[in-house]
Structure 1
Amino acid sequence: MAYQATVIPVMIASPGDVNEEREIIRAVIHDWNDINARASRVMLSAVGWDTHASPELGARPQQLINDRILSDCDLLIGVFWTRLGTPTGKAASGTVEEIEAHVASGKPAMLYFSSRPVAPDSIDPAQYANVREAKAKWMQQGLVEGFDDSEELRHKLSKQLSFCLAKNSYLQGIIGTPRDDDAHTRPAPAELSAEAKTLLKAGASQNDGHIWKFSFANGEFLQAGEQTFGEGSNREMARWEAALEELLRAQLVVARGTAGEVFELTHEGWTAADSLS
């Protein structure tokens, strides 16, 4: 069935040596949409210079990208490995110019740096030094993230993308937050994803209505009632964390404490769980 949604363009900013990482970012965005779009009425649209630029004369190449693509984006995800990119005349690289322009406009940027192995002979020392210098500069301006391999990037971005959408004030201003006196804006139980319904029913199977999140050195999982969710792989855990985020946004569960380890069904959550029985 058709539904209306707020579309948030997401700029993927990157130099040319991270093709695999760009595809992972697109896959994470696609997965987020599959799990969350219908219930949240929010759709993410992956945008990048490699997919959305077209031939045009009359201005600096990077300025055309900034004007035609970047300016319409509300969130930027940047990723680096061994190259910073080619100077534009205004910044150390096109990717750097995109990030700086995006942040200067008051919009959020999520930056990731790869530590995966590389053949030493394939590295341009000057480019690699530029990456390290840029990373050090951005670390003074906020939080950046590192990853060792593709699976770690997928796991971290899956979790952190949901956090950013839920917590960033700029994005929340676009998405909007349901009010307690505006219950009709919350997803009805029938609109929840299958995972969110399963997790909600499992939480309601015990009188305390708790959903627990456990973290260990070798992984994480959720527990609700007598069931566990997310064991086995980072991707599986990301799927169930997205379901938990869905329940939080729908105000069917609420976090207890400050550690983000225990969640409890609300009155609306119990009512919704009863309707799913």
Structure 2
Amino acid sequence: MPRQTTTYDVLLSCPGDVLDQMDYVREAINTFNETVGLDYNVVLMLRHWSISTYAESGKSGQESLNDQFVKFCDVVIGIFGGRFGSPTDKYQSGTEEEIEMFLNDGKQVFMCFFEGGKFGDVDPSQLTKVRKFKERYKSNKKGVFLPYSEEKDLQSLLIKNLEMWFLRKEKGKNNLSTKKVESEKKDLEGSLCFKTTNLEMVSDNLVLSDLKFPFDLVKIQTDIKEEINKIENIKVGAPLAKVGKFEVPCVVEENDKKAITQYAEQNGISLASDFFSLGNLKTVIFDNLDGSEEEKEKKELIECLAKKVKETEVRKYFVDNLKGVKLLWGVVTNHTHSEGEDVWVTIEIKKKDFSFPKAVFMGISKSLRDVVDQEFLKNTIPNINAPSYSIHGGNLFDVRYPSDEHLVYVLNHFFNYAINEINDIISLNYMIGNIKIGDTIYIPLPIFINENSEDISIGYKITASNIEHCFKGSLKN
């Protein structure tokens, strides 16, 4: 059925060197429209000179853009990389002019600085202008300042911030119905509270859980050594010099051979010179194996060994890189007299106490991703997917996510809660959706705490789109 919608025009303003990131902006807007937009009957429309302008004479280029569509936009997403752009009649670049127009009109500005580019070939004067503008923009505290170092991160960064901007815009509207006002009066008799849990009981104090790995590396290494000895005890003959016309000699895959060899070197294990020899084992038509039972057994054992070695390397990688980390699970409880809608939780914690593990998960080498399946990650951090929550389609280990080519995308999604740093305070922003009266719901991800931290204190703020009140508090260990 037809429905009425409200359209907001979103201007993309950027110099040409970051224009190739426009697809990430477009995808972020599409995601917003398919999620928050559908719920609120709102549509965000992307505007940019390449799609929103027409030929016109008698005015400067920037003046034409301003009159045709720029000044009618509601939001601007400004992106800078290594170039500042070409000067206009009033400003050092068209992007700067458009941003200043929005700031002067009191409109929303999302200022994004791409910090992961190779700027060696960029005109130094252009790069200097970008840096000066960034410092001026930061010192004047204008708009929202969003740095990012990977191009693909722009999409998820914008999704989070567009959602937060719009939901708080809705919350700030003054056209509340009488029924809603009465509901809010009742709400203030109770509260939305943040508490912590060990997944068994909820506490008003900080409860930290140990990070325990469900495997014994020493035993695994012993098992690997025994399997190496078993393989070496299998005797096969020397390969024949020639094979038949429709036969191909069987050899160990290079990546398997490399994994086993490296493991042996790192653990002081000497491999026999013929360790990888499969004798006269051949592949004939239709991939059938032709050879002795010993040769077939050796091939199968080497393949199993290679898989176990790769899995062990990943396990050791996690153990080495997540030492000294504890988990803090958080929950929100609803003690108000109405359902909380579109609940946002902001956690503030000192930088020295906070550990951000995204780099650990992203550091898994490409060659090992085929052994990092959902079950492995699920068991590596105990209970990490125990809570259910609703944010961008489910949790990290949802079966709909393939564990191979989409691993990086999923990990980015999972760890990319909105994060800001102000002086020595880290601010984490989570959306937990709706929460019914009397219910308790987990925040989407545990907070990773440095194990050696003492006197930890975190502050929290909780807002709901249907409650004109911000609930605040703090927890200490």
- TM-score, normalised on structure 1? 0.69
| Structure 1 counterpart of 2:186 | none
| Structure 2 counterpart of 1:154 | 155
**CA distance in 2: counterparts of 1:181 and 1:57, whole angstroms:** 54
1:185-200 matched pairs, under 5 angstroms: none
Structure 1 spans left out of the alignment, 5+ residues: 184-207, 267-277
**CA distance in 1: counterparts of 2:47 and 2:440, whole angstroms:** 33
| Structure 1 counterpart of 2:123 | 124
Q: Does 1:235 align with 2:234?
A: no
1:90-169 matched pairs, under 5 angstroms: 90-118=90-118, 120=120, 122-142=121-141, 143-168=144-169
Q: Deviations over 1:134-185 (max 9, x none)?
A: 111111222412100123222221111111222358x955xx76546159xx
The alignment yields a C-alpha RMSD, in angstroms, of: 4.2
Q: Is the 8 A contact 2:388 2:395 kept in 1?
A: no
**CA distance in 1: counterparts of 2:431 and 2:119, whole angstroms:** 41
Secondary structure of the corresponding residue to residue 233 of structure 1: helix
Secondary structure of the corresponding residue to residue 58 of structure 1: coil
| Structure 2 counterpart of 1:78 | 78
Q: Is the 8 A contact 1:70 1:102 kept in 2?
A: no
Q: Is the 8 A contact 2:344 2:463 kept in 1?
A: yes
Q: Structure 2 residue aligned with 1:218, among 346, 357, 378?
A: 357
| Structure 2 counterpart of 1:181 | 179
Amino acid at match of 1:259: Y
**CA distance in 2: counterparts of 1:217 and 1:180, whole angstroms:** 44
Q: Is the 8 A contact 2:77 2:109 kept in 1?
A: yes
Q: Percent identity?
A: 22
**CA distance in 2: counterparts of 1:136 and 1:244, whole angstroms:** 30
Secondary structure of the corresponding residue to residue 149 of structure 1: coil
Secondary structure of the corresponding residue to residue 35 of structure 2: helix
**CA distance in 1: counterparts of 2:94 and 2:463, whole angstroms:** 43
| Structure 1 counterpart of 2:208 | none
**CA distance in 1: counterparts of 2:41 and 2:161, whole angstroms:** 19
1:6-17 matched pairs, under 5 angstroms: 6-17=6-17
Q: Is the 8 A contact 1:108 1:168 kept in 2?
A: no
- TM-score, normalised on structure 2? 0.42
**CA distance in 2: counterparts of 1:247 and 1:79, whole angstroms:** 33
How far apart are residue 91 of structure 1 and its match?
A: 0.2
**CA distance in 1: counterparts of 2:176 and 2:433, whole angstroms:** 13
Q: Is the 8 A contact 1:21 1:79 kept in 2?
A: no
| Structure 2 counterpart of 1:200 | none
Amino acid at match of 1:128: L
Secondary structure of the corresponding residue to residue 16 of structure 2: coil
Identify, as 1 or 2, the structure richer in helix.
Answer: 1
Cα pair distance change 1:235/1:7, threshold 3 Å = same
1:60-79 matched pairs, under 5 angstroms: 60-79=60-79
Cα pair distance change 1:127/1:159, threshold 3 Å = same
Secondary structure of the corresponding residue to residue 7 of structure 2: strand
| Structure 1 counterpart of 2:44 | 44
Amino acid at match of 1:127: Q
Cα pair distance change 1:115/1:86, threshold 3 Å = same
Amino acid at match of 2:80: F
Count, aligned residues: 234
Amino acid at match of 1:135: K
Cα pair distance change 1:126/1:39, threshold 3 Å = same
Q: Deviations over 1:7-36 (max 9, x none)?
A: 010111111111232221111011100112
Amino acid at match of 2:27: A
Q: Is the 8 A contact 1:39 1:246 kept in 2?
A: no
Structure 2 spans left out of the alignment, 5+ residues: 182-332, 335-339, 348-353, 359-383, 397-409, 418-429, 444-457, 468-477
Q: Does 1:259 align with 2:460?
A: yes
| Structure 1 counterpart of 2:21 | 21
Q: Is the 8 A contact 1:76 1:108 kept in 2?
A: yes
How far apart are residue 119 of structure 1 and its match?
A: 5.2
Amino acid at match of 2:126: Q
Cα pair distance change 1:158/1:246, threshold 3 Å = same
Point out the structure with max Rg over C-alpha: 2
Secondary structure of the corresponding residue to residue 117 of structure 1: coil
**CA distance in 2: counterparts of 1:4 and 1:230, whole angstroms:** 32
Q: Is the 8 A contact 2:12 2:48 kept in 1?
A: yes
